[in-house]
Amino acid sequence: MKKAIAEFLAYLEHEKNASSHTVAAYGRDLGQVAAYLKERGVRWDKAGNVVLRGYLAELHEKKRAKATIGRKLASLRSFYDFCLRKRWVAENPARVLARPRQDKRVPSFLSEGEAADLLDLPRSSEPLDLRDRALLELLYATGIRVSELVGIETGDIHADERLVRVRGKGKKERLVPFGTKAREALEDYRRARPVLAGRGDVGEAFFLNYRGGRLTTRSVQRLVRKAIRRTAVARKISPHSLRHSFASHLLGRGADLRVIQELLGHASLSTTQKYTHVDLQQLLAVYRKSHPRS
């Protein structure tokens, strides 16, 4: 099974342009399935849906999250679809397996006032403080993913047009606009960036760490948590919460959902809907203003 998995992962990376995170996750998932089948003496190309259902049942017994089980099932389905096209198997045994019903959970997000408090925190003119302000402004102004943020190169930011080029899932590029506050913060950081760049061989990475290397997603997560602790927000807020806040605030101010979909880089509108949230006061205000018998 190892050879088949290796070919499948290469297909994901080179033909489907899947992200490195997706390839790694699918590799781990399929490795676990291979171990499960080996323990039971079952050939992977002869495994039926009953055996694979037993694997998923074991995950349930181990109290694995529904989202995790759903992803592992998606890995299986994609792998066996690939094997079916290669004619290594006669059918896809994972196709008939039911995906666990996901719990509907609204991600953490900031109100407009809380977002303003976060972005307007007092900061010094030190390069790292200017960097932190710039990346927080850009995350909220564009709704881009953290992986897209850390992948930004110096030539991707067009301050005059207030546009940034980002590389999303599947290595798809898109241009995302940002506002004047973000442009001001980005330009302040751009002027200070050579101080950080002089500490390392960074190439064209725009956001740098204190050693002059490319900033990582984990570093961004840490600095967002650090900034949140300086505000009155007691909830757990992550960089992804800023993406959700971006979508919710645009929707609350009347932006079309399909425009938000394009800005976020979603292939499906249903994915965008998970990021949007209109609070009760907004809902009541729109209802009272719009309904003829309110």
Largest pairwise CA distance in the chain: 68
Residues 225 and 144 in one domain: yes
Active site residue 275: yes
Residues 121 and 210 in one domain: yes
CATH code of the domain in which 273 resides: 1.10.443.10
168-190 pLDDT per residue, tens: 777 788 889 998 999 999 999 99
Residues 25 and 130 in one domain: no
Active site residue 145: yes
Residues 190 and 247 in one domain: yes
Residue 23 in any domain: the answer is: yes
Active site residue 266: yes
Number of domain units in the chain = 2
Residue 290 in any domain: the answer is: no
Active site residue 230: no
Residues 247 and 193 in one domain: yes
CA torsion angle for 201, 205, 208, 212 (degrees, to 10)?
Answer: 0
Residue 97 in any domain: the answer is: no
Residues pairing with 166 in the sheet: 174
Instruction: Judge whether 188 and 134 are in contact, CB under 8 Å.
Output: yes
User: Domain span at residue 130?
Assistant: 112-285
Residues 171 and 216 in one domain: yes
Phi and psi for 61 in degrees, rounded to 5? Answer: -65, -30
Residue 225 in any domain: the answer is: yes
Active site residue 169: yes
- pLDDT band of 132, cuts 50, 70, 90: very high
191-230 pLDDT per residue, tens: 999 999 888 776 789 999 988 889 999 999 999 888 888 8
Active site residue 55: no
**C-alpha–C-alpha distance, residues 46 and 152, integer Å:** 45
**C-alpha–C-alpha distance, residues 193 and 199, integer Å:** 10
- Can you give the pTM of this predicted structure? 0.66
* Percentage of the chain exceeding pLDDT 90: 24
- Catalytically annotated residue among 133, 193, 244, 266: 266
